Structure 1
């Protein structure tokens, strides 16, 4: 066990030395910090990361050590290294729990997870985020919740709360997709449980209406007509504009087994007929992006940090090549 620890320390030291390679060893603490600041200002984030790491390793108790740790979180984030950004934020929180700017570390943890959930393709293509694995979104929500609970008066709290609205809607919409998947596979009890979970745990989100529709449909398939009527009445009373009520009566999204096409039955449901069961047609996924856009517009200008303001305009060539060419 001790040998493993020694190997870990040796590897860590070697990595730190490699990161500092090419950086003038005669630079003073102030000069190194100023160079890192210049790199950040000119969007040279990889170079900024190397210099901030060198600054911390060479002057661990210097006047800029704590500030370098904070700015390393941001530099990693801008260098598209969300895991490193979150790890740096965790380290800062662990080392400096009473620091005046520790709320920034909590905020950046949430931001890094937030962008990690969106992913590279989502920045260029109109993907439905509610269909993706919600792991990073759930982490981001929990991290923003930690910030708002521990530092309710933080300058970052308003922005975090607005992002939490979007993330909560996103998590609820994901549950809707899973529930419809269960309906499609005739797992009616599982679909019912998901629908009930949505209604009980995601109040004030667009997905509640979908949850009630799922409960109604699952109860109907299970021949629990009284319970189906109760769910349907609740849906009609609170969400009369829901898509399942468009024809004036409740219209199930999933057909009974006997009503499915021969192609659907032959392929065990993997190939359907003309019925459109795409998850993106749910009410929740239609509303989730609109809800986020509305929330984003309400963020006060005072909390719009450089994270949102320093994005340079990119040419069509840069977007087309995912940033490889053009500026």
Structure 2
């Protein structure tokens, strides 16, 4: 215990020294940035992007954006800032920068890129890292961000059908449709467990009507068959079975 007490001042001294160096380096870095011009600062930010240091790039680009809001590089700085914020996982900052760019530059040649990045950011916000790592499918979590992403991609395709981002946006919209359909099916199954068969059938029908090209249609039809059976609605049940048989002949519900 005595030797440990003797070591403590040394450890604390080292920690203070390291912290002091870190603070000193940061202060030196900030002082150097103050004296750098627009071109030099932008080159520094681009180097950080190329090295994958997106947080540092975003910090420099944000300073540039504030210092030179109408400079010759202002548009490109904002576009790079959008990308750097996105890669840093800063959802709110990314969306705010995108919305400002779209509002101030509605006729810019890269508006389609900004719109695509908005959809990508909202789509990414709906993902949960821990669920992915643990392979847990939480289809019942609120899909609000997925709905926003779907609208972002829809607007992009509608306004810029020939954009180089449109094909990717269409693929992502299909993925989002499957995500939204899974949510509806998960809620329908919840209603089934609670014996709320009318609500369950309505959720199933919603999937069939609004997401007919999703991978959840078979399950939605099966929920409708089971719900109508419990409700004694034979005609609706037979109609659902007919549709199920036509599209999914191997379904266990057809028997």
* TM-score higher than 0.5: yes
- Alignment RMSD, CA only? 1.6
Cα distance in 1, alignment partners of residues 191 and 205 from structure 2: 13
- How many pairs are equivalent? 227
Equivalent residue, structure 2, for 1:94: 103
1:251-298 Cα offsets, whole Å, 9 max, x none, are xxxxxxxxxxxxxxxxxxxxxxxxxxxxxxxxxxxxxxxxxxxxxxxx
Equivalent residue, structure 2, for 1:202: 211
1:109 to 102, 111, 118: 118
Are the counterparts in 2 of residues 32 and 55 from structure 1 also a CA contact under 8 Å? Answer: yes
Equivalent residue, structure 2, for 1:136: 145
Cα distance in 2, alignment partners of residues 95 and 43 from structure 1: 28
Cα distance in 1, alignment partners of residues 166 and 85 from structure 2: 22
> How far has the Cα of 1:230 moved from its partner?
1.9
> How far has the Cα of 1:212 moved from its partner?
1.5
TM-score with structure 1 setting the length = 0.66
The structure richer in helix per residue is: 2
* Uncovered stretches (5+) of structure 1, i.e. residues with no partner: 1-19, 250-327
Cα distance in 1, alignment partners of residues 246 and 33 from structure 2: 71
Are the counterparts in 2 of residues 215 and 231 from structure 1 also a CA contact under 8 Å? Answer: yes
- Runs of 4+, deviation exceeding 4 Å: 20-23
Structure-2 change in CA distance of 1:33 and 1:207 (3 Å) = same
Q: Is 1:182 equivalent to 2:159 in the alignment? A: no
* Uncovered stretches (5+) of structure 2, i.e. residues with no partner: 1-28
Are the counterparts in 2 of residues 83 and 112 from structure 1 also a CA contact under 8 Å? Answer: no
Q: Is 1:41 equivalent to 2:50 in the alignment? A: yes
Cα distance in 1, alignment partners of residues 160 and 250 from structure 2: 39
Higher relative CO (Cα under 8 Å, sequence separation at least 6) belongs to 1
1:32 to 20, 41, 45: 41
Cα distance in 1, alignment partners of residues 217 and 66 from structure 2: 51
> How far has the Cα of 1:165 moved from its partner?
0.8
Equivalent residue, structure 2, for 1:68: 77
Matched residue of 2:55: which SS? helix
TM-score with structure 2 setting the length = 0.84
Larger radius of gyration: 2
Cα distance in 2, alignment partners of residues 206 and 58 from structure 1: 50
Are the counterparts in 1 of residues 185 and 203 from structure 2 also a CA contact under 8 Å? Answer: yes
Q: Is 1:85 equivalent to 2:94 in the alignment? A: yes
Matches within 5 A, 1:1-327: 21=30, 24-128=33-137, 130-245=139-254, 249=255
1:47-100 Cα offsets, whole Å, 9 max, x none, are 111110111111111111111111111000111112211111111101101000
Are the counterparts in 2 of residues 219 and 227 from structure 1 also a CA contact under 8 Å? Answer: yes
Cα distance in 2, alignment partners of residues 150 and 129 from structure 1: 33
Matched residue of 1:32: which SS? helix
